[in-house]
């Protein structure tokens, strides 16, 4: 039994420092890895920012389209003599004017 124990303990003695060194390395580098992951989660990539901006612009464009259709309906009712529709058309027009500057202009096709 003693003959097996000696080579086994010698092998363990050689392997153990590697395990201790790896554990010490893992413990030492853990804060750096955690901080790096936190920075990745906290920052927004350029493509993510572009996607978000595109979604916001599309929402404003949809809102503008709905307002323009409502405005045209209100103008039709106003022309037919509905004073309340005239007032509502003015309010809708003001809302349209507030949204227009937030929508980027389409490039001209020359």
Nearest CA among 29, 28, 25 for reference residue 37: 29
pLDDT tens per residue, range 60-82: 999 999 999 999 999 999 999 99
pLDDT at 12 over 60: no
In a domain, 94, yes or no: yes
Considering the domain boundaries, does residue 61 fall inside one?
yes
The reply to whether 57 falls in a domain is yes
Arithmetic mean of pLDDT, 84-100: 95
Q: What is the average pLDDT score of the chain?
A: 79
Confidence (pLDDT) at 3 = 60
Q: Per the domain annotation, does 3 fall within a domain?
A: no
Asked if residue 21 is part of any domain, the answer here is: no
Look at the chain and report how many structural domains it folds into. 1
Whether residue 59 lies inside any domain: the answer is: yes
Enclosing domain of residue 91: 49-101
- CB of 100 within 8 A of CB of 57? no
- Rounded distance, CA 67 to CA 61, Å? 10
- Model pLDDT, residue 103: 87
């Amino acid at each position: 039994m003693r003959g097996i124990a000696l080579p086994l303990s010698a092998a363990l003695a050689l392997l153990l420092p590697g395990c201790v060194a790896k554990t010490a390395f893992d413990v030492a580098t853990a804060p750096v890895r955690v901080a790096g992951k936190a920075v990745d989660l906290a920052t927004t990539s350029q493509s993510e920012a572009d996607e978000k901006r595109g979604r916001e612009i599309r929402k404003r464009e949809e809102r503008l389209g709905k307002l323009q259709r409502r405005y045209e309906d209100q103008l039709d009712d106003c022309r037919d003599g509905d004073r309340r529709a005239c007032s509502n058309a003015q309010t809708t027009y003001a809302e349209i004017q507030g949204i227009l500057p937030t929508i980027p202009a389409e490039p001209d096709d020359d």
